[in-house]
Structure 1
Amino acid sequence: MLRHEFHPGKLVAGLFLLLVAVVYAGDAGGAWEAPWFVALPLVMAGLFLAGVAAAIHGIRPRGAGRPGGAKSVKEPRD
């Protein structure tokens, strides 16, 4: 399996959208009553936290072994 870069902002946004889906699925199934406007604060909070997570992830220092990080320069041997 190919490795890919971790994007925590997408993870947080996806979890909050999944939470909205669970809330409305519970409402549709009769488990509880959810007002129609409950999705807006959940989605907005999820997008805000996703932006914070992506910003924190984007400003961290990159190591030498990571893509886009500092590359070590080898000196030529004689």
Structure 2
Amino acid sequence: LETVRLLLGLGFEDLDLHRIWGARSPLNTASARTMAAAGMVEEGTIREHILKNGRWRDSVVHAILDREWAALSAE
């Protein structure tokens, strides 16, 4: 979680990004919890967009906006 927060801080505070997103396997619940704890919102599923070992796999997208990060950082 600390690594994710450090990367979000770098993106928003140093690089002045507006939006940061990440994707995970639908089966990776630990990653889902980490992104949610960092303030990222689950936005949806990109269906069958990764070909891995001969099988198409889905990805779940999470994102956070600069204003959401600022609100979390002010707490």
Q: TM-score, normalised by structure 2?
A: 0.26
| Higher alpha-carbon Rg | 1
The structure richer in strand per residue is 2
